[in-house]
A = this chain, B = another copy of it.
Amino acid sequence: MNKDVASHLTPLIDRFALHSPISSEDRAELGKMPYKLRSYEAGSYLLRDGDAPVQCGVLVSGFAYRHRVSAAGLRQIVSVSIPGEVYDLQQLHLATADHNVQTLTRCTVATIAHAALLEIAAKRPSVARAISATTIVDLSIAREWMLNIGRRDARMRTSHLFCELAFRLNRGSVPSGHTFDLPMTQEQLGDALGLTPVHINRTVRGLVKDGLIVNSHRSITIPNWGALVDEAGFNSRYLHMVPI
A interface residues with partner B (beta carbon < 8 Å)? 19-20, 66, 68, 70-72, 74-76, 78, 90-96, 98-99, 118, 121-123, 125, 128-129, 131-133, 135-140, 142-147, 149-152, 156, 193-194, 233-235, 237-238, 240
> Which of A121, A151, A193 counts the most chain B CB atoms within 10 A?
A151
Contact status of A149 and B194, CB under 8 A, knowing A68-B143, A90-B139: yes
Residue of B nearest to A90 (CB): B139
A152 contacts B98, C-beta separation under 8 Å = no
Contact status of A240 and B20, CB under 8 A, knowing A68-B147, A152-B70: no
Contact status of A237 and B96, CB under 8 A, knowing A122-B125, A129-B118, A135-B132: yes
> Which of A20, A129, A193 counts the most chain B CB atoms within 10 A?
A129
Bound state CA distance, A150 and B192, in angstroms? 8
B70 contacts A151, C-beta separation under 8 Å = yes
* Residues from chain B with Cβ under 8 Å of A146 in the complex: 68, 76, 78, 142, 145-146, 149
